[in-house]
Chains A and B, each alone.
Chain A
């Protein structure tokens, strides 16, 4: 297939090998660092603004280091002004956990069904599910409200969690991942007498570690940052999630950026922690470790 180059074994795993190789790595590292500056800048502004006193918020030119650091003051003001910020964080946590577990169950079952079974209407049902991704939520927000109203779910946790337990995106993601799992391994389990649920649980899911990590990162993040849906579905002080709690800090005539950024920073921390924890599943080789178990 490819021309013989006579090069020695190189799994591409080790850092140093030859001069062009090293310089290639150095260049890619430099590119990554340059890109990282742009990626990190708004985040840095968020953290620095969270620590600025009100008088420093609108300075020109923009300063990233506050003259009078006021992190604790802003934190205290945030908790004093926003009635129950911890409550909002807790609500967001509940909603996120509920939706993620729900999607993990419904979407892995469905993804497995679409990836491995032939049944009438399979392609149509899959296409229709994808179709639901194609309607912007702004277009159905009123109708979604009316539906939840009709079934009496407005301002309940059920409204915040249950509709979020189903997902066309996660279905698509997991289906693509399951299609990558070597079928021979599943067939071996079937010959051993396992039913489809057992195959999914014991073979397919363990072999889809990276995809599940990606699913977790994206689903958790989406549930945690969801704004428009909770806003129309359930926005009472008891059911309020943290994104709404932060939006409430904005007045008609005033934008307390420091409090908004402090709230956003607090809300971002759990997502960052989760990413740092899960990103090791994106390290090469983990995928195949399922085989050894």
Chain B
């Protein structure tokens, strides 16, 4: 009893606050762990088996992981995932911050422009797929025609293994921009106006106000957006699925395959649920490691108005 009490806190007040804290987080945590934690654990357990869903699962120990280490397609998918991440995250975060900053000013048609930038989030994936496939279509597409002006005729964006990641990255950024913009816009509102006024009185110019007021005050949002953007980039799936639907799903020779796509294809395409779960577990561990690093690094650059224990 005393041990529990001590674990909760040194003083009666600390203990009472600890109990409040636990009670507050309990509903969401219990719900999450039951409805999603249990399936995740079950999937991780599946990674130790061979299972095609029709026959009972067979325990195979770490065989799936051994196979994975020697699977060229897995390494290819991992490489593609990292490449996409590098293409998508910095550009995406910077662009959405830029758009949010611009749309936070008094520009004409602000409401309309914000809505337009939010549109990709709600536009049907089928429409996005058709239009983007058309944009990248070499002869009749928008980009194809534009490039023809520069003498670049019939570039096979969606079939060439060395190019196919570019359209996928573009569509990913396009689809994500409105989402991140909403988060940044919300974050920008929490910056007290008095800070800008004080900075101006101190003689700060626009860049200095941005650098020394906006950026630090926005850092919790930037942190949120970056963490989510990286998690999202590690899980790129839909964009691969839709952009390569009319050529070769996952790209010719797996050139557009990501880890999320590869695990889906292993499970539902080749009936290897155990192996797919092993891929999922490895993907999870990678994202977890990256996120933990981010959580640790945040102390260096994320500024919280108030952190209170």
Contacts and interface: CB of A to CB of B under 8 A. Distances in A.
B75 interface: no
Contacts of A117: 17-18, 20-21, 24, 309
Contacts of A166: 27-28, 31-32, 35-36
Contacts of A138: 237, 260, 263-264, 267-268
B186 interface: yes
Given A14-B106, A136-B237, A211-B186, A143 B46 contact: yes
Q: Which of A12, A25, A208 has the most CB of B within 10 A?
A: A12
A89 interface: no
Contact of A39 (B22, B39, B177, B283): B177
Given A4-B203, A118-B309, A12 B196 contact: yes
B38 A147 contact: yes
Interface stretch (A68-76, A79-87, A167-175): A167-175
Contact of A218 (B106, B179, B277, B280): B179
B24 A9 contact: no
Given A62-B140, A165-B31, A214-B185, A40 B119 contact: yes
A260 B106 contact: no
A168 B228 CA distance: 11
Contact of B28 (A107, A143, A271): A107
Interface string B1-35: 00000011100001001111111110111011101
Contact of A279 (B114, B131, B291): B114
A32 interface: yes
A248 interface: no
Interface string B170-205: 000010011100110111111011001101111111
Given A40-B119, A147-B39, A221-B121, A131 B186 contact: no
B128 A42 contact: yes
A38 to B, nearest CB: 7
Contacts of B235: 136
A31 interface: yes
A119 B288 contact: no
Interface residues of A, number: 117
Interface string A199-210: 000000000111
A114 to B, nearest CB: 6
A196 B51 CA distance: 49
B127 interface: yes
A177 B205 CA distance: 28
Given A11-B200, A134-B291, A210 B123 contact: no
Nearest to A171: B28
A180 interface: yes
A12 B206 contact: yes
Interface stretch (B63-71, B152-160, B299-307): B299-307
Contacts of B190: 177, 180, 208, 210-211, 287
Interface in B108-135: 108, 111, 113-124, 126-128, 130-132, 134-135
A271 B123 CA distance: 10
Contacts of A36: 113, 116-117
B107 A42 contact: no
Interface stretch (B85-93, B96-104, B248-256): B96-104
B186 A210 contact: yes
Contacts of A279: 111, 114-115, 118, 185
Interface string A96-122: 000000000111011011101111101
B115 A272 contact: yes
Interface in A217-257: 217-218, 221, 225, 246, 257
Q: Report whether over half of chain B's contact residues are helix, strand or loop; otherwise say mixed.
A: helix
B308 interface: yes
A228 B181 CA distance: 25
B60 interface: no
Given A2-B208, A118-B17, A110 B25 contact: yes
Given A106-B31, A287-B190, A28 B43 contact: no
A3 interface: yes
Nearest to B7: A120
B42 interface: yes
A45 B287 CA distance: 36
A142 interface: yes
A131 B289 CA distance: 10
Interface in A236-293: 246, 257, 260-261, 264, 267-268, 271-272, 275-276, 279-288
Given A42-B120, A130-B291, 6 more contacts: A9-B197, A135-B40, A139-B276, A139-B279, A147-B39, A257-B130
Interface of B: 7-9, 14, 17-25, 27-29, 31-33, 35-40, 42-43, 46, 53, 99, 102-108, 111, 113-124, 126-128, 130-132, 134-135, 140, 174, 177-179, 182-183, 185-190, 192-193, 196-197, 199-206, 208-209, 212, 220-221, 223-224, 227-228, 231, 234-235, 237, 260, 263-264, 267-268, 273, 276-277, 279-280, 283-284, 287-288, 291-292, 295, 304-309
27 contacts: A3-B203, A45-B131, A60-B140, A112-B24, A113-B22, A118-B9, A118-B21, A127-B295, A138-B237, A138-B260, A138-B267, A139-B277, A140-B36, A143-B39, A162-B35, A166-B27, A176-B223, A182-B306, A184-B306, A214-B183, A221-B122, A264-B123, A264-B127, A268-B122, A275-B122, A282-B186, A287-B190
